[in-house]
């Protein structure tokens, strides 16, 4: 039996495959919902408003921050990204866990804000050379762009010891990786500190059962 919904943050450098893993979890686990963030960046081909992101202007974004409608936000590559309160409320009110696919600074903000109910997962390629191979994959980026992305990946991975879990996403094995994260989700729900109410009730019932037999 599941308790109340928890917040699972999935972070990882570009090339870690976190978007794919988060989508697999959303599509395969009815008990989780993927929060759709707001961003000021333009949609990429194939992205839809309201599904990939809510694409808004900088003015609209700043208004939402001022109104307290954005619970964490950060500037990344000259664009603003933020988690919408209404998304987290929508999913938790349905009794489901929330997945936030966000970068490290936002993750730390959410942890500070909601501590106990937040579980953080850092996803990465299994090695630096594999990450570089994935970043070069499309073959369209210059050496300078690749170098900047690798430097950013190094910064992000340096946060790993602040995360609860570090999970490797082996190439071509996104399903296995998602299964591992699904296992983490299940395990977090049965942590003893989250079962305290259940155990206390159990012990009360046992005490009553013992007394009835005296």
| Chain positions contacting ligand 5GP, by CB under 6 A | 37, 41, 72, 74, 76, 81-83, 101-103, 106
Give the closest residue to 16 by CA, choosing from 109, 141, 111, 150.
150
Minimum distance from residue 41 beta carbon to ligand 5GP (Å): 5
Closer to ligand 5GP at the Cβ: 105 or 117? Answer: 105
Name the residue number minimizing CB distance to ligand 5GP: 106
Cα 6 to Cα 24: distance, rounded to the nearest angstrom: 18
Minimum distance from residue 103 beta carbon to ligand 5GP (Å): 4
Closer to ligand 5GP at the Cβ: 30 or 45? Answer: 45
Closer to ligand 5GP at the Cβ: 97 or 101? Answer: 101
Closer to ligand 5GP at the Cβ: 6 or 71? Answer: 71
Task: Tokens 């050379």: give the residue.
Answer: 129
The pair of structure tokens assigned to 152 is 């950013």
Contact of 125 with 18, CB cutoff 8 Å: no
Minimum distance from residue 21 beta carbon to ligand 5GP (Å): 12
The 8-class DSSP code of residue 49 comes to: B
Minimum distance from residue 135 beta carbon to ligand 5GP (Å): 12
Contacts of 162 (CB under 8 A, 6+ apart): 104, 108, 111, 120
């Amino acid at each position: 039996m599941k308790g109340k919904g928890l917040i699972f943050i999935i972070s990882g450098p570009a090339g870690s495959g976190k978007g794919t893993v988060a989508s697999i979890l959303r599509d395969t686990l009815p008990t989780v919902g993927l929060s759709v963030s707001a961003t000021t960046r333009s949609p990429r081909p194939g992205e839809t408003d309201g599904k990939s992101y809510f694409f808004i202007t900088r003015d609209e974004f700043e208004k939402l921050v001022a109104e307290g409608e954005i619970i964490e936000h950060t500037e990344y590559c000259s664009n603003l990204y933020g988690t919408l309160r209404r998304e987290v409320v929508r999913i938790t009110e349905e009794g489901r866990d929330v997945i936030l696919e966000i970068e490290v600074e936002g993750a730390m903000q959410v942890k500070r804000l909601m501590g106990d109910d937040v579980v953080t997962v850092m996803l990465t390629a299994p090695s630096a050379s594999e990450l570089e191979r994935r970043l070069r994959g499309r073959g369209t980026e210059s050496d300078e762009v690749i170098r900047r992305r690798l430097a950013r990946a190094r910064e992000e991975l340096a946060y790993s010891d602040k995360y609860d879990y570090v999970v490797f996403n082996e190439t071509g094995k996104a399903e296995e990786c998602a299964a591992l994260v699904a296992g983490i989700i299940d395990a977090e729900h049965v942590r003893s500190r989250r079962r305290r109410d259940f155990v206390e009730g159990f012990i009360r019932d046992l005490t009553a059962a013992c007394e009835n037999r005296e």
